[in-house]
Chains A and B, each alone.
Chain A
Amino acid sequence: MAKKNTNTLLILALIVGLAFHGSAIFFTLESTYDALIHLFFADHYASSWFDPWEYRWYTGFTVQSYPPLVHQLIGLLSYIGGLKFGMYTVALIAIVLFITGAYRFTLLMTGSRRIAGYGAVLAVFSSTFVETLHIFGQLPSISALSILLHSMTEIYLWIKTGKTRYFITSATMLAVTVTSHHVTPLFGMVFFIAPLMGMAVMDAAREKVESYKKLTFRVFWGTTLQHFWRIVKFGFTAIFLLVFCIFPYWYNSKRNPITQVAIPHGSRDNFLEITSSGLVFFIIPWGILLFILPYFFYRYFSKRYVFFGLSFALLTILGTGGTTPIPLMMLGEMAFNILTLDRFTLWATIMALPIFAEFAYRMVEGDLKVLIQKRFGAVYHRVLGGLIAGGMLFMVVFTMTLGYFRPSQPAKIKMLPIVNFLGADSHDSWRYLPLGFGDQMAWLSAQTRAMTVDGNYHSARRLPELTTRAIERIENSKFRGVEGIGSLQQFLTVPEKYNLKYIFSNDKFYDPILYYCGWQRLQQLENGIMVWEKLNVAPIPQIMPKQDVPTIMKVMWGIIPLTTVLLAIFVNIQMIWVRLLKSKKIPAHSFTKLELPYNKFPSRLLTFSHWWALLILICLGYGMYIFYVKNVTQLSPNNLVESYYDALDFKEFSRAHSYIDPDENIDIAQYMLEVSVTDGILSSYAKLDSLGIEIYDKTENSAKAKVATRWITPLENVFNNDHHELVKRNNKWYLKSSKVDNDIPPDQLFTANGTTYYNHGRRKITTQETYHEDVLKQPVLEILSAKLVKYKGQYSIVGELQNVDNTPADIVIKATLYNDKNKELANYNAKHQIKHKLMPKETTTFKINFEGIAWSSTKDTLPPTFNPDEFTPVSFEEQPTKFNLQSAGNVANTDLYKHVALQDLEYTEQGFNGVLFNSGVQEVTIPQLIISYYDVDGELLWVDHKFVTEGVRIQRKQFFNYKPLELDSLKIITSGLENCFVNGSPNKAIADKIFPNRILKHGRQQAYPFKGKGYEYLKFEINSYIGNPK
């Protein structure tokens, strides 16, 4: 045996790995999916090590729902240099552990230190590692896997030699693995340790006979029986460690089983259909390894590795997600929907590393090189080597920069202004909600004591509004379609349920729904985040519910993880010392004797591999061709329309302009002017959801397209049908431009006077409660009418309300339904069928729908597509017969724009055609019509609404169309004002005092006599959302 030199390749791998990954993490880790979540957990341990209850997310959850080691390490290190220091340090440790782990694993598998060196180098550049670290940020997973790799040598030696020393080392390492990540050892047992034991027994059997040929099943079986007790002993120890080390975790899983609806995950997709998932969860982790797959299978299905072969094949198949039905069949419905399948690919690629290293060795300096040079010549060998190395580097660079070119996160947000805001003026006495923060919300939470209803660890979700839907966060609800927006709307409509008062909006998309749910803009922070607040929300109570666990669990959780690390270091330090410094000559392990001579690379395998590589290349080429054809914008009419709408969707107007027929001579400035003047829900707050393009009458140089678009807006779906004419000039298709509104306002400059309001808040600066005389009186409201009605099987309360005070009022109105026995059945707040801000003496009609928690019975099939205005009526077990209305007014000083007039209204066969006119000085972004229906006596029957999709600009008109409803099936269940309250006082008392001589006929005098089905009068009210108030 050669003298044991320091393995230069390993040293090289460590240096390059630390330099490369170590510097790159500072640019990638914080924008990964998971890293900041771990940071938040770490912050929890840093501030309360032993108490597992964390109040800041989901109205409280337990951190015993995730193995703690990595979090605790970061938390511990944060005492030295802060949380981020801790995170980066742990990441650096993980990098070192991974490279050395790959080295030891390769050494164990191949028995060659040279090849192990190759393994270490390849591990540094493995695209799966790059992805897991730099895109997913799965620190616990990486740490656990690395330590598992380290422990494999020890486990092998225990099985093989039966020396207690190895038993102890393997057990301690396994314990560390368990406390860092629970899934890794759980599946690691099956996919790594079981085949490893098989291999150990196989090796022992091999030593009994002269060659692998003579190794029959009988020999193997005999050897297995010999080693049986070691296997059992280790097996039971492993299970014990898995249960004991994170016992509180299992205890918590039992107590709070995951009952929530599964969240769709890209790794379960069909990769051929959803190519982006295929890229992220298949192509990137496999990378260049895909080309060498035949070699892996060839090697892993040799006699020694056959158990690994089985495991490897299984992992490869499971990693394909929904592409083939096999994973679903193997895992079963339940496990398939809970597990993220990308981890199987991760393990498969890690398992492939030693064999890949072996391949590289044979390619660079072994028999493969000889064979290739012999068959194809030296140049070909070099070119091939260059291609493989180049391909690998390309994959690494590509993966690394994926987050740069296709950001998965919003731009980095400066948290300090938000943290300061929450800290000031007792703002943290209420819950807050970030919107559009991405995973950075965890970083915000880590920096403040304030609590949010949201959270970023979906397994710990507790609120029914969240667990019954497949959403991971409310924060990014727009990406979760109907369920997301539905959840968000529930929080926005009934915020007092969770003491939610502040919303930090980093995404303009949500602004309209915030406004229409009755929220108001408070201020824009210096980092550009808009703060929205809701009035009339009580602060969080001093005493909050908490799910306590026995002290022993807290102690176990706080002590065991770090103890396992200390034990592992203590037990292994001597060996590490010896191994690193070569201070003592240690006998070579038995597996090094099994190093193969590598003198004859099978020629047929080489041929097959070439064909395989060709096949892969053809597939890739075809994929890229499809990608090209689909994405070359002006190649076909279809592409053109798609690109044009894509450009409009992303507001890339100069790109959109480039698709307009150049012969029309519309210059870019003119085009921009025409496009950008239209404001409204479609042009400012919509996301194109689906695009149905129908090309017809296509000739050589012309075509027509009917484009059915569906836009997601925060308020509702908008369907549009557009017609376009397309022409082909110089082999490129172009779009003919459509007409614009030529309306010009009469005045260049005009004046407007109005009353504006300002509320000081606290006039006297104090850290105490606000002074009595600085508390404004709540404006007095009067409920003019209220009815419980049933329409289309759904109960609603409709009514009318007036601000009878002399100050503008913000209105919150809550209705509760009761049955005959006065049992409460449901309660809900008025959402958007009300004007939330009223001027003195202004009236509003309102409607309260009783929304249940959507899909609360998980049996209901989830709708496959987005529908923000989807509504789940609450299901009543009993008949509601009575209701109670609680309204509250608070002085409002914003969003009081009332200058949109109804300028024309005409009933035609298509419904009402109307014209809105904006006579004031603010541009109305989204006008909302609230339409109320009255019977012959002027009694309110029903309230409907319509959002006009385009805005009303100053001194300009906007057309709308509204189809009136048919109300003949509407049933009034009860009507009356007995149980109506305003600011806690009975409505009647207020009416008698403030409006003793109310002129009741005014209501009817202002309504439009229009005989429709089931009603006699109609009234249109306008509620205007202003996107950019001046």
Chain B
Amino acid sequence: MDALQIEKLTKIYGSGDTEVVALSDATFDVAPGELVAILGPSGSGKTTLLTTIGLVTEPTRGRVVLDGELIVDHGWPAGLDLKRVRREKLGFIFQAHNLIPFLTTVENVMIALENNGVAAKEARERSVELLRSLGLGHRLDHYPALLSGGESQRTAIARALANRPRVILADEPTAALDTENGKNVMRLLKKLAVENHSAILVVTHDQRMVEGFDRIFEVSDGRIVNERRNGISADA
């Protein structure tokens, strides 16, 4: 079963003369363990695609099935608990890391687990294990302000992975990092996607980072204009 199925996903802002089509008829599937890049210039609609999948922006039309659950059906289905879906099935990685400044590294990961009802002791053990596996064992009790950019991003990745979500959505995760750290983060994401069977969608406009992706969607003016798979291009 695909981790994510997207069909004719469309987002239109305003109406009449002020109508802006931010995303138009996006259709694709993502398999578990797949690392997908959504590439495009600023204003092309790639972040809108990410936020509609992430249940942050309500789409105007289209369908999205996440891990077998219909989460978009020409808008959000009535009664859908958006927070539950985000908590249980989605993970988010941000450009600016978005770590909670008053929580330590380990607490930043723990909160994602506790949100899902994991008891504090178990949450701590799992968080420590996860952070150690990402090379942050020596930074467990540091506040985000004391972490380097790469360490902060790895902490954010740990938080996104904590609940073993089916899909991880990453918004420009390497934008605040230098090339070397950026490549390290991409390698890490690829490794984690395979290990955890999570589909990872990465929005980026950084062409340097696209080498390791399984598939690349190029977005322009709200449309997917090109799809590449392992170097094979298929114009949309």
- A and B associate in one complex: no
The chain B residues found within 8 Å of chain A, CB to CB, are none
